[in-house]
Chains A and B, each alone.
Chain A
């Protein structure tokens, strides 16, 4: 209250503390608690993971855990990479198709319906997605009943999709809306004139989408796909619920090594392998981004 009446000098010193460098120790003090939480409960465990993966029982540096992990789980590693890569690709295709129609669609009612429809899985957690797909894709699930009911397959041809296909379906169902949301936002912020120009020159809609729109939103698409790729690598619930038996995803193996065997060494070797896969995905993204900036 005493400071209600500022001295003439007060006004000058007040403004710089907002943006000036004098108050910067305060800025670091404000950021510090949040950074400390990340450091203690995220960075430290990651470092610990690397240490444990390379440390033998005697405390020496060793590759034996990696050799063992590779020996036991190389099929699962390939299986994981294959599933996540295929899912990422399909998510990209679905997201481009939906976002493209939302941007270029000529029937406003269809666009509105699609915009309302595609978002539903966005906020549904992975674990619920796992349970949903467990019922939907089962032999007795609604998918098979719909296919039989519409005469597309014979009742005896009904089969359970609860294997690698089920995991892919669950991943695409859950993650495609997220990438679509990002992509549709990016497409909406493009200038409409050039799309109209291309249309006026007689370009078909899918050509406009692939040749005019997509190159300009490629960055957003790649960010969404890399985030999805990394997320899917870490999901434990979906593979555990849909396809717990071998070959399965690395996350299930890690959980098994820990809950059943308390084998942190091999589990951490597997974790580092999946980190390497994620890093490869990120590297791929950076290469792409670099090429894009070089082109423009």
Chain B
């Protein structure tokens, strides 16, 4: 404590800097929070003149569309996770364990959707989907989300499989387990935490996705981000802020649990 006291100007300076950082991080979030509970808020009042829940009632009323959009969003995200993992788990396993001649090239191909601007893709896929009747359908949106979510899923799944000790698999095989039994009872359970982490990533990415849904989902698929966007552009800050808060819940929950699933040894193996 005496050491602290002797350097109090430094400590004070540090406290001010940390306070500013906290304001930069939480100020915008607090502003959103205030808008979500504001009944009336006109310039130049610093805080809303009236607080209340009437907009929450409107958002969650049957006519508010929020619950329907939330349902659509979650349904799309679940289907995206299922599709992504269904193709990413075999691919990740092959990339981690089996001999592939163009392994580097294949890994690079899976990096493409993260490394290339997505706008041209969304624009033209919407055009193609329009011609084959997939525009404005759940399946169309899921396919677009999955092609993007796949990237993370393959990379994380590959790292998760690579972190499983091969001697455990060899032991199972030497005891006569078929490749499938070995995969199902040894490899898959050991890689499960990493796979769950990749599932959460894909789920969140799909839940938060805007641009692809904006082009492919119109006019029939309204996800929560689209609802929020429409409310905000319509000048309804309360509805937009409440919807934004709904979108924040899974993101923040994920931030708090991600470290449990994504162990450092898996992270270190991403991209190897």
Q: Would B93 and A107 count as touching, CB distance under 8 A?
A: no
Q: CB within 8 Å of A: which of B65-115?
A: 83, 86-88, 90-91, 93-95, 97-101, 106, 109-110, 112-115
B37 interfacial contact with A, CB 8 Å: no
Evaluate whether A254 and B123 lie within 8 angstroms (CB atoms) in the complex, with A24-B100, A125-B208, A230-B115 already known: yes
Partner of B228, one of A31, A46, A127, A274: A127
B116 touches A46 (CB 8 A): yes
A241 touches B128 (CB 8 A): no
- On whether the beta carbons of A135 and B241 are closer than 8 Å, the reply is yes
* Size of the chain B interface, CB-CB below 8 angstroms: 97
**Could you tell me the dominant secondary structure of chain A's interface residues?**
helix
Q: Does B247 sit within 8 A of A, measured CB to CB?
A: yes
Cβ-neighbour of A145 out of B46, B116, B169, B237 (below 8 A): B46
Chain A contact residue count (CB 8 A cutoff):
94
Instruction: Report B-chain residues with C-beta under 8 Å of the C-beta of A15.
Output: 170, 173-174
- Chain A window 255-296, contacts with chain B (Cβ cutoff 8 Å), 1 for yes, 0 for no: 100110000100110011011001000100000000000000
Q: Mark A209-235, 1 if CB is under 8 A from B, else 0.
A: 000000000000000001100100111
Q: Is the CB of A274 within 8 A of B208?
A: no
**B-side contacts of A240, CB under 8 Å:** 229, 233
**Do residues B115 and A123 form an inter-chain contact, with CB atoms below 8 A?**
no
Residue from B26, B34, B95 within 8 A of A31 (CB atoms): B95
Q: Is the CB of A173 within 8 A of B43?
A: no
Once the chains bind, are A34 and B90 in contact (CB under 8 Å)? Answer: yes
Given A117-B18, A120-B29, A121-B25, check contact A45 B124 (CB 8 Å).
yes
Judge whether B61 is part of the interface by a CB distance below 8 angstroms. no
By beta carbon, the residue of chain B nearest A140 is: B43
Chain A residue nearest to B117 (CB atoms) is A234
What would be 25 A-B contacts, judged by CB atoms less than 8 Å apart? A14-B174, A23-B99, A24-B101, A30-B94, A33-B87, A34-B150, A35-B91, A42-B148, A52-B124, A117-B18, A117-B22, A118-B21, A120-B25, A125-B251, A132-B31, A155-B44, A226-B115, A230-B117, A234-B117, A234-B118, A234-B119, A255-B214, A264-B127, A274-B117, A278-B116
Complex A-B, nearest 3 residue pairs according to Cβ-Cβ distance, in ascending order: A125-B208, A27-B98, A271-B120
